[in-house]
Amino acid sequence: MNLSNQELFRQKCYLDGQWLQAGDGRTITVTNPANGRTIGSAPSLSRSEVARAVAAAEAAWPAWREMTALKRGHLLRNWERLVRENLEDLAVILTTEQGKPLAEARAEIKGGCAYISWFAEEGRRAYGEVIPPNTRDRRLLTIRQPVGVAAAITPWNFPMSMIPRKTAPALAAGCTVVAKPSSMTPFSALALAALAERAGFPPGVFNVVTGQAAEVGAELTGNPAVRKLSFTGSTEVGKRLMAQCAPTVKKISLELGGNAPFIVFADADLDAAAAGALGCKFRNTGQTCICTNRFLVEESVHDAFVDRLLARVKTLRVGDGLAPETTQGPLIDQPSLEKVDGLVQASLSMGAQALAGGKRHALGGLFYEPTVLDQVRPEMPVCQQEIFGPVAPILTFADEDEAVRLANETRYGLASYVYTRDLGRFWRVSEKLDYGMVGVNEVLLATCEAPFGGIKESGLGREGGRQGLEEFMETKYVILGGV
Ligand code: NAP
């Protein structure tokens, strides 16, 4: 990698203020999805080495929780400043291991910085309450305290923003952290750890471990010293981790998969809807949890919307994310490519029509053509499963009730989108959609000021907003008698 600061490329874990390899020398090889070349390797820590990270976090916790929120905030701000100063190098690391275009990588890192600065401030507002008492000689109050050692397990699709989204609220609340990034994208988290070290966090406060997911996960979920698990990833793994946390009754937040509907009503601004659709569907090659999975278009505007969407899809440039003209990178790995293509081919064989793409890209490797499928029906595989690829299935509906019914026919409940200019419909549909988030005439949902998260099998808890801090705190009730 061509970095101005090679110090950011770390192939060791950060544990108790030290950079370590696995004791037995085991490693995980990391490849560039754009060309299949090896980038480097990260340690594959043993379960006992992960336990050492937890012990370090536990030992560091008393002093960290005693520090004022103001001082913790200063350290967070140091970290944020260093991340911003190293933005270009971090973007190269992110694109090289994850594949997204450099412009998206830069935006992701800036988004992560916004979360750090938000929580650096929000930690100072962890207010308690004074409650009117039930008798004259008593006083009732609550205080909010950090939950303890927090574990963070993050996915490969946003490796630079997921770490700040989880660790910044934890650290601001007064928790110490052990983070485990995806084995496909560990170098983003390790680069962020190198900057956290420079920012001055005391040893043990911020730890990053890498290794075999099941082994590391078993320790992070089974160790009683870990009091909180914050996980982002697939619904399947989230359910398993939830079960693993049950014996020690940990506080958990789960940001899981989605099956987002994008409803276009006949009264919508169709140009705005098509522009939103392009960003919402094809960003990160369709590999975001809030990517549209199903476009539901009112019958009377089907052709007008599809024409506008196709014109925009034709502008996408597929290639290596490091090339300046690229707007769509590769998929993350071979199983993802097979899955996306399998969903497309199965839907085509059931009668869907490819208006754009519909197959692997001529570049080969992990590249897939930006795809628009028409004549799609709800029972087709492309609607039933989370696609996680650059495929836009188009369905139609006759009226508002049918749109809402189709939108809600899924076990997921993360993001949903509605394009309409009717104020009454804005309220009615927003209230009826069984989703944690509704974007009305807007697709950029994630922002540090607002609570991001899902319902149903899309998860528990929220990231961002004042709610994001709450996920790492306990409310303690104190009663004073004899007043
Ligand atoms: P994943 O396979 O569930 O992996 C997520 C993380 O969990 C990775 O760090 C992975 O490690 C780890 N992991 C896997 N098995 C584990 C186990 N048995 N114990 C402990 N950790 C384990 O998900 P992904 O493929 O990386 O990410 C895509 C999924 O994440 C999609 O479903 C997407 O919708 C969801 N997602 C949700 C949100 C949200 O905010 N709701 C945001 C982004 C992504 P390894 O990589 O080392 O296997």
55-103 tens-digit pLDDT: 999 999 999 999 999 999 999 999 999 999 999 999 999 999 999 999 9
Which atom of ligand 1 lies at the shortest distance from residue 257's CA?
Answer: 34
Instruction: Verify whether ligand 1 is closer than 6 Å to residue 211 (CB atom).
Output: no
Mutation choice for ligand 1 from 182, 253, 448, CB with most ligand atoms inside 8 A = 182
Instruction: Verify whether ligand 1 is closer than 6 Å to residue 82 (CB atom).
Output: no
Say how many Å lie between the CA of residue 237 and the centre of ligand 1: 7
CA–CA dist 420, 266 (Å, integer): 8
Kindly report the protein residue whose alpha carbon is nearest to atom 6 of ligand 1: 155
Q: How far apart are the first and last CA of the chain?
A: 67
Share of the chain above pLDDT 90, in %: 100
Say how many Å lie between the CA of residue 199 and the centre of ligand 1: 28
Return the pLDDT at 366: 98
Over the stretch 282-323, which tens digit does the pLDDT of each residue have? 999 999 999 999 999 999 999 999 999 999 999 999 999 999
Instruction: Verify whether ligand 1 is closer than 6 Å to residue 45 (CB atom).
Output: no
Q: CA nearest 154: which of 115, 121, 124, 119?
A: 115
CA–CA dist 220, 113 (Å, integer): 26
Instruction: Verify whether ligand 1 is closer than 6 Å to residue 343 (CB atom).
Output: no
- Catalytic sites, residue numbers: 255, 289
Orientation of helix 102-122 relative to helix 159-173, angle to 10°:
10
Instruction: Verify whether ligand 1 is closer than 6 Å to residue 460 (CB atom).
Output: no
Over the stretch 168-202, which tens digit does the pLDDT of each residue have? 999 999 999 999 999 999 999 999 999 999 999 99
DSSP readout, 51-83?
HHHHHHHHHHHHHHHHS-HHHHHHHHHHHHHHH
Instruction: Verify whether ligand 1 is closer than 6 Å to residue 233 (CB atom).
Output: yes
Say how many Å lie between the CA of residue 336 and the centre of ligand 1: 13
Query: Which regions in the chain score pLDDT beneath 70?
Result: none
Contacts of 238 (CB under 8 A, 6+ apart): 231, 254, 256, 459
Kindly report the protein residue whose alpha carbon is nearest to atom 12 of ligand 1: 213
106's torsion region: left (phi>0), alpha (psi -120 to 50) or beta? alpha
Instruction: Verify whether ligand 1 is closer than 6 Å to residue 163 (CB atom).
Output: no
Return the pLDDT at 1: 87
Kindly report the protein residue whose alpha carbon is nearest to atom 26 of ligand 1: 155
**pLDDT mean across residues, the chain:** 98
